[in-house]
Amino acid sequence: MHVIPAARYLARRKRQNLLLGLLALVALCMLLLGMSVGNGVVRLPLGLSEHELALFVRLRLPRVLMGALVGAGLAMSGTLAQAVLRNPLASPFTLGISSGAAFGAALAILLGGASQWGMAGNAFVFAALTAFAALGFARLRDSRPETLILGGVAIMFLFSAATSLLQYVATEYQVQAIVFWGFGNLGRVGWSELGMAAVMILLPVPFALKLSWDLNALLAGEETASSLGVNVRRLRIGGILAASLMAAGAICFTGVIGFIGLVAPHIARLALGAEHRFLIPGAALFGASLVTFSDV
C-alpha cells in the first residue's frame, strides 16, 4: 500500500483549504458582479432610489441567488453521480432526470397552460419519478454502474421522444413555451421559488458530505470498498437519491441547464483532487460561480 508522508499530506491539505477559500472568494465576487450588472450598466446596489431598490430586491437579487444555488446543486449532483457510478460522463442527464423534468413541464403546458408553479410542480414530479426509476435499477441484486447508466440513457431517450410527441400535438404558442422552458432561464424565479429550491437542493448536502469517506473508498474499486466495510449497494442508492433530489430541485424552476453537472466536477477535481470531502464543496462553489457569471 502506498503511504503518503505526513509532511506531504499536510501540505496537500493546506493547498486544498486555500483553494476552497479562493473558490469561495470567486463565488462571492460573481454574486456581487451579478447583483451589480443590469441593463448594460455596471452599478452596485447601493444608493438606489426606493423604486430601484424594490426592483432590485424583487427581481435581480432572487435571480442571482437562484443562479448560484442551481449551479451548486447541479455541480454536487454531477459529482455524486460520477462517484457512485464510477463514470466520468455521469450527470443528471445520464440518470434521465433532466429529460423527465422537461417532459413534466411540457405536459403541464399542454394540459394546463404555462403557469410557473404548474410547470415547476409537474417537472419536479416527473423528475422524482425518473429518480425512483433509477433507484429501481440500483436496487437490482446484480446491479452494476453500467446497468444504471444504460437504464438512465434509456429513460432519457424515452422522455425525449415523449416530449417531441407533445410538441407535435401542441399549438404554436404551446410549442414556443415548451422550447423556451427547455432552454433554461433564471428570469422566472422569485423568492418563493428560491425558497423551495433551496430546501430541495440543500437538504441532501449534509448526507452527501457524510458519504465522503465511503465515496473515497469506492474510488479504489467495489471489492476494496467492501473490504473496508462500505456497503456499496446502499452507498449507490443513497448517492443516486441525493443527486436526484438536488438535480430535480434545480431543474424544476429554471429549466434544463445541462453542462454544469458534467463540467464543474471535472474542473474541481483537477484543482482539488479526488477526495470528496473537498471535491463536493469545491464543485458546488465552482458551479455557483459558473452559472452566476454566465447569467451576467
* DSSP code of residue 255: -
164 in a domain, yes or no?
yes
- Rounded to a whole number of angstroms, the CA Rg of the chain reads 20
- pTM (2 d.p.): 0.86
- Least confident stretch, 29-43, 72-86, 99-113, 175-189: 29-43
CA distance 111 to 106: 9
pLDDT at 65 > cutoff 90: yes
- CATH code, 74: 1.10.3470.10
C-alpha cell at 78: 454531477
Model confidence band, residue 48 (pLDDT cutoffs 50, 70, 90): low
274 in a domain, yes or no?
yes
Q: What is the pLDDT of residue 268?
A: 92
Residue 247 CA: distances (Å) to CA of 140, 186, 198, 273? 23, 15, 12, 23
44 in a domain, yes or no?
no
| Residue 38: its H or E element | strand 37-38
Model confidence band, residue 40 (pLDDT cutoffs 50, 70, 90): very low
17 in a domain, yes or no?
no
CA distance 125 to 159: 13
Model confidence band, residue 89 (pLDDT cutoffs 50, 70, 90): confident
Question: C-alpha angle with apex 156: 154 to 162, nearest 5 degrees?
Answer: 105
Total structural domains within the chain:
1
Phi and psi based region of residue 227 (left: phi greater than 0; alpha: psi -120 to 50; beta: remaining) = alpha
What range defines the domain where residue 192 resides?
Answer: 67-294
213 in a domain, yes or no?
yes
pLDDT at 72 > cutoff 70: yes
**DSSP 3-state of 148:** helix
Model confidence band, residue 53 (pLDDT cutoffs 50, 70, 90): confident
C-alpha cell at 186: 433564471
CA distance 8 to 182: 47
104 in a domain, yes or no?
yes
CB atoms within 10 A of CB 49: 8
Q: Which of 231, 250, 252 is nearest to 242 (CA)?
A: 250
Residue recorded with cell 500500500: 1
Sequence-ordered alpha helix ranges (H) in 113-185: 116-138, 145-169, 172-183
Phi and psi based region of residue 224 (left: phi greater than 0; alpha: psi -120 to 50; beta: remaining) = alpha
112 in a domain, yes or no?
yes
Residue recorded with cell 472568494: 25
Question: C-alpha angle with apex 208: 204 to 211, nearest 5 degrees?
Answer: 145
What is the number of residues in the chain? 296
**DSSP 3-state of 37:** strand
- Least confident stretch, 9-13, 43-47, 86-90, 193-197: 43-47
71 class by beta-carbon count within 10 Å (0-12 exposed, 13-18 middle, 19+ buried): buried
19 in a domain, yes or no?
no
